[in-house]
Amino acid sequence: MASNLLAVFDFDHTLVDGNTDTWITKLYEDAKHLQSNKGTCWTDKMAEVFRTLHEKNFTKLDFEQCLRSLPFTDGMKELLTFIAAQDIPCIIISDSNSYFIKYLMEFNNVMHCVKEIHTNPAHWTDSDLLTIQYYHTHNCSQCPVNMCKGGILKSYVKNTESAGKTILYVGDGRNDYCATLQMKTSDYVFAREGYSLLKLLKQNAVNAQTQKAQPIVVPWTTGFNILGKVKNIVEKQQ
């Protein structure tokens, strides 16, 4: 078993093939306009979206029906299942929210594959209003005010004695970049083709002024691409 590995996943545009926050606005077209307010934290924007949907009498059941139409990215269920079968600790670090993630993980029968979920807490009130809070506070200048993925990964590794493990980080976006700065050169970051994370990693690799030793970068388009590489990594460790 691959006990020397730690798998870390983003959620939006990584495990699922879309953004949970923008997906839920399919319920009500005007809710999309609320997300365009400049200078406002995205989590605060979503809180306003949820209040608007509540005012328009959309219920938890409506949310669930909408979320069920958001597909998992091709190959990600198989990747999660393999990781679980190998007893590789697996966590999610996402700027979505706890309700969206847990609902979709349970609906797709892969919740058992994940040890911990680090995301913005979300709760339903008795009147069917979905409320959301910041995950934490931090001092990182390059991350959104509600979440620093680099800080979360650093804390997890320290507090779970995972410092010697090889990290397998799977993500796509700009907010995943900070986490890669906490990784070792022997770690792996799987960055989705055509998204911000891969572009930032490439810029870092060629820019001598900001160059920093970085983990091994593996571009991907489907979970099957990652699965093949992870199988090779596991075989080498056995």
Catalytic residue at 12?
Answer: yes
Q: Does some domain include residue 63?
A: no
| Domain limits for position 191 | 5-18+72-119+138-237
Considering the candidates 12, 21, 95, 172, report the single residue annotated as catalytic: 12
Report the alpha-carbon distance of residue 111 to residue 48 in Å, rounded.
Answer: 28
Q: Does some domain include residue 188?
A: yes
pLDDT for residue 214: 83
Has residue 100 got a pLDDT over 50? yes
Q: Does some domain include residue 177?
A: yes
Enter the pTM of the model.
Answer: 0.93
Segment 113-163, tens digit of pLDDT: 999 999 999 999 999 999 999 999 899 988 989 999 999 999 999 998 888
Considering the candidates 10, 21, 95, 187, report the single residue annotated as catalytic: 10
Q: Does some domain include residue 29?
A: no
Q: Does some domain include residue 31?
A: no
Mean pLDDT of the chain: 92
Among residues of the chain, what percentage have pLDDT more than 90?
82
Residue 170 burial class via C-beta count within 10 angstroms: exposed 0-12, middle 13-18, buried 19 and up: buried
Q: Does some domain include residue 55?
A: no
Q: How many domains does the chain have?
A: 1
Average pLDDT over residues 70-83: 98
pLDDT for residue 200: 93
Q: Cβ atoms within 10 A of the Cβ of 18, count?
A: 14
Q: Return the residue matching tokens 């930032």.
A: 200
Contact assessment for residue 191 and residue 218, using Cβ atoms and an 8 Å cutoff: yes
Confidence of residue 204 (pLDDT cuts 50, 70, 90): confident
Q: Does some domain include residue 151?
A: yes
Q: Cβ atoms within 10 A of the Cβ of 101, count?
A: 24
| CATH code for the domain in which residue 78 is found | 3.40.50.1000
Q: Does some domain include residue 59?
A: no
pLDDT for residue 208: 46
